[in-house]
Every structure is written in structure tokens, then in C-alpha cells.
Amino acid sequence: MTAASTTDFLVVGGGIVGLTLALELKRRYGDCSVTLLEKEPACGLHASSRNSGVLHAGFYYTADTLKARLTLQGNRRLTAYCRERGLRLSRCGKLVVTTGPADLPGQRPTGRADAGAQSRPQGPSGQDTS
Ligand SMILES: Cc1cc2nc3c(=O)[nH]c(=O)nc-3n(C[C@H](O)[C@H](O)[C@H](O)COP(=O)(O)OP(=O)(O)OC[C@H]3O[C@@H](n4cnc5c(N)ncnc54)[C@H](O)[C@@H]3O)c2cc1C
């Protein structure tokens, strides 16, 4: 493949972040050129295809922080993306086991159960699918 000598947008790295960014740039600015550089022979050969494959629910972030909200939003959007394209997704849920009273709902500062309860993804009919 020959790379263009000029481009409106240059994205370096064809993992999930670079590919999503390039796609979004093309969607928003359809008339602009977007070039993606990948050092490997194909895209997605590193972390994006070698991870645990979990759609995180934001349990490990303090409830209502930007990270927790983005994680939850990402969970919903990726779920919708998979459904629209008939991609297999196991909604197996998550069992959070407390290691002490501090992890119980209402307890601070850890309160993982609270974070989980507040960041619980909902299915299309409102059922809990975290
Ligand atoms: C063990 C492990 C388990 C994980 N489990 C999960 C999980 O269950 N759920 C989850 O949501 N996230 C998980 N993650 C995190 C997730 O995989 C990463 O956050 C995500 O894949 C990062 O995407 P990326 O596009 O930034 O990086 P990558 O997928 O690593 O892509 C970067 C790309 O840039 C290319 N590149 C690098 N340098 C250059 C260069 N100089 N020029 C051109 N190209 C270059 C690389 O070849 C690569 O293709 C996990 C991560 C790890 C390591």
C-alpha cells in the first residue's frame, strides 16, 4: 500500500482506539482524508485482540466519575453494536465477592458493591445485564 504524502487526519496505530478514531473522523468529516498508519502487517494484532474480552461495567471506578460514566456508556454502545451486527456476546453477569465489611453497600471509602450497583448496565427492556 502506498501512503498518501498529505492527509487531513493522520492516525498512528490500528488497534481498537486508532480504528475507532479513524472511523469516527470519517463519519464526522466525510470529505476529509483520513490515513491510518500501522507498523504491523495487519491491524489489531496487539492488545485489542489479545485481551480478556470483557465488557467492563465500571466497578473499579468511583461511582459517577468520568471514567465510570464512560465505561458504562461504552458498555451500552458496544452491546448495541454487537446486537446490530449479530455478533456473539455473552451477558453472563458478574459476581462481586466482598472481602470485608468495607466493601458492603453504603460503606466508604471502598464500597465496590455501591459502585457496581450504580454502574449496572441495563438491557433494552431495563433488566440488569451487568
Ligand atoms: C492482558 C490484558 C487484558 C485486557 N483485558 C481487557 C478486557 O477484558 N476488556 C477491555 O475492555 N480491555 C481490556 N484490556 C485493555 C484493552 O485491551 C486496551 O485498552 C486496548 O486494546 C488498547 O487499544 P489500543 O488501540 O490503544 O492499543 P493496541 O491494540 O495495542 O493498538 C496499538 C497499535 O498501534 C500500533 N503501533 C504502535 N506503535 C506504532 C508506530 N510507531 N507506528 C505505527 N503503528 C504503531 C501497534 O502495532 C498496534 O496495532 C486488556 C489489556 C491487557 C493487556
| 70 touches ligand 1 (CB under 6 Å) | no
Report field, pTM of the whole predicted structure over 0.85: no
76 contacts: CB under 8 Å, gap ≥ 6: 121, 122
Which segments of the chain have a pLDDT < 50? 109-111, 113-114, 122-130
Helix (H, G, I), strand (E, B) or coil at 130: coil
Using CA atoms, how far apart are residues 103 and 96, in angstroms rounded to an integer? 10
List pLDDT tens digits, range 68-103.
Answer: 999 999 999 999 999 999 999 998 888 888 888 877
Q: In angstroms, what is the span from residue 68 Cα to ligand 1's centroid?
A: 20
Q: Give which of 40, 41, 33 is closest to 11, Cα–Cα.
A: 33
Domains in the chain: boundaries = 9-49, 54-119
Choice from 1, 16, 61 to test ligand 1 binding pocket (greatest atom count within 8 A of CB)? 16
Q: In angstroms, what is the span from residue 48 Cα to ligand 1's centroid?
A: 4
Q: In angstroms, what is the span from residue 66 Cα to ligand 1's centroid?
A: 21
